Amino acid sequence: MSTAASRSRTQQPASSSPVGARGGRRARGSLGRLAVNALLVVLCLLWLVPTVGVLISSFRPAEEVTSSGWWTALTSPLEVTEWTLANYGEVLEVGMGTAFLNSLVVAVPATIIPILAAAFAAYAFSWMRFPGRDLLFTLVVMLLVVPVQVAFVPLLRMFVGAGIEGSFLSVWLAHAAFGLPLATYLLRNYISSLPRELIESAKVDGASHFSLFWRLIIPLSTPALASFAIFQFLWTWNDFLIATVFLQPRVMTVELVQLVSAYGQDWHLLLSGAMLTMIVPLTVFFLLQPFFVRGMTSGSVKG
């Protein structure tokens, strides 16, 4: 009896220790996740503070913007005399309205053109066999490290020779050329990760390369296309350098700089103009955000 009791006493801690260890790991894991989530919330709030400040100040009269901080609208809402849309009306009248339309004319085609061209190229690099395919794809990837400024003089000479300098077409072509390497790289990684059995079955059924691309590859590649669309649209919408060099009509970024030069002390107008430049990018990001993470992670790990 004493021997059995001693065995039970010696075996009990050994059997209970793994349970305690697992419980401790779970507790530490929960605390770690809680700390990470808290840190992310704090970072998001810090990122949102300037945007909220610009939004609130853009609706405040000029005298309130210069006399008190924007946070008084939240801490002491009763002291705010009025909200106004006159700031936006004045900004649109001095040229922001035309610049807003010009930015849309630049950003939408400059996003669609490289997406379509890169999708065709990515399909060819993934599912078509031709000599030098891997070498050509390597050259496309190498173009990612080429600075934009290096190509300005050759592109300007080319556009002048073609008679399209200063036009929207020149900006579309410039943005498409600079966006194609990244688009081709991202879409190729995604399209090559699609199930081979699906592609082969479509070929057995008699699908041509074009029908296979248009009816199968494009619908399945929606997350990757949306991810690059976010990058390309934000880049073209917020671009200042290319629009200044290649385009005569003013876009939002160029007009905002002119607004700062002309109305440097009128903070209510500057903040309204800044908010106008942010509306469309924020809308595009939140509309396409459900596809963003899926498109960036799909194709990154194979197997």
Read off the pLDDT of each residue in 153-169 and give the average, rounded to a whole number.
90
Query: What was the pLDDT predicted at 5?
Result: 47
Task: Give me the residues paired with residue 113 across strands.
Answer: none
Evaluate if residue 37 carries a pLDDT over 80. yes
pLDDT in tens, 259-292: 888 777 788 888 888 888 988 888 888 887 777 6
Contact indicator for 117, 228 with CB cutoff of 8 Å: no
Compute the mean pLDDT over every residue in the chain, rounded to the nearest whole number. Answer: 82
Q: How far is CA 221 from the centre of its chain?
A: 17
Would you report the helix, strand and coil content of the chain in percent, each value rounded to 5?
Answer: 85, 0, 15
Q: What is the dihedral of CA 145, 297, 180, 124, to 10 degrees?
A: 120
pTM of the model: 0.77
The whole-number pLDDT of residue 174 equals: 92
- Among candidates 275, 195, 277, 182, which has minimal Cα distance to 227? 182
| Residue 76 in tokens | 């002491």
Tens of pLDDT, residue by residue over 38-97, are: 898 898 888 888 888 888 888 888 888 777 778 777 776 555 567 888 888 888 888 888
Residue 179, pLDDT above cutoff 50? yes
pLDDT at residue 298 is higher than 60: no
pLDDT of residue 10 exceeding 60, the answer is no
Res. 125: pLDDT tops 80:
yes
pLDDT of residue 81: 61
- Asked whether the predicted pLDDT for residue 180 surpasses 50, the reply is yes
pLDDT digit string (tens) for 201-255? 888 888 888 888 888 888 888 888 888 888 899 999 999 999 998 998 889 999 9
Q: What is the pLDDT of residue 1?
A: 47
More confident residue, 20 or 65: 65
Residue 233 has a pLDDT of 92
Do residues 121 and 136 lie in contact, with contact meaning Cβ atoms separated by under 8 Å?
no
Instruction: Residue 53: count other Cβ atoms within 10 Å of its Cβ.
Output: 16
Residue 101 pLDDT class (50, 70, 90 cuts):
very high
Residue 293's pLDDT band, with cuts at 50, 70 and 90, is low
Average pLDDT over residues 2-27: 54
Tokens of 102: 């010009």
| Residue of higher predicted confidence among 190 and 73 | 190
